[in-house]
Amino acid sequence: MNAIDFDPRAYLPARDDFKGRAILVTGASDGIGRAVALALARAGAEVILHGRNVRKLEAVHAEIEKLDAPEASILPLDLERALAADYEAVADAIDKRYGRLDGLLHNAALLGTLTPIEQYDVPTFMRVMHVNLTAAFVLTRQLLPLLRASRDAAVLFTTSGVGNRGRAYWGAYSISKFAVEGFTQVLAQELESTSNVRVNAIDPGKVRTAMRRQAYPSEAPESLPTAESIAHAWLALLGAASRGVTGRRFQAQAG
């Protein structure tokens, strides 16, 4: 399959597809991040689990241990409060343990509130923009030398349907995802001819997650696909299957 026809939904990961690859997953303690982290581990990746809740990260780590998969590592970091030195420490720790980084999934995000712009709380707006965009920028910038050290690296952003078509009342979340998609395109062009790093974004669609319940509290969860059922699309864009594919936006589900 060439780059133009590439469809991550068609990828079926095998057990050793990610053998020898170190992949950092932000927001790995729940939802899509957790599902992708577990799928990566099953495919042989050495997964770096990021989140702010140590107890939840330890639970995911314990699940990986039961899979007879490569040992995962835990990276507790509160993206809302992290300082420059914290990001430097992250890069130093990954460099010391792995010497490179083969994949970076930006999945951590805040929803904020579904409120008209005219009434949107300014501190909440700033928090959402910081976690969803600024923290992703800083982490990417800090880890680029380690991504460049890989022979085949991928940066992947989880975006949203409101990230390329605005929707009333989605405020900071929608705006931050628009910015993330712009970040994807800029970074992809900058790295395309100077590195082995590809950069893409993926829209999950409607998925049974805590954030979805927060946004649509009256929706029946059983009517939605689970994160586990679509996680393979993220793996397609984080691994060798997507070599030569960069600067693009994909759908995790049909329709």
Which residues are part of the catalytic machinery?
173
With helix as H, strand as E and coil as C, how does the chain read?
CCCCCCCHHHCCCCCCCCCCCEEEECCCCCHHHHHHHHHHHHCCCEEEEEECCHHHHHHHHHHHHCCCCCCCEEEECCCCCCCHHHHHHHHHHHHHHHCCCCEEEECCCCCCCCCCHHHCCHHHHHHHHHHHHHHHHHHHHHHHHHHHCCCCEEEEEECCHHHCCCCCCCHHHHHHHHHHHHHHHHHHHHHHCCCCEEEEEEECCCCCCHHHHHHCCCCCHHHCCCCCCCHHHHHHHHCHHHCCCCCCEEECCCC
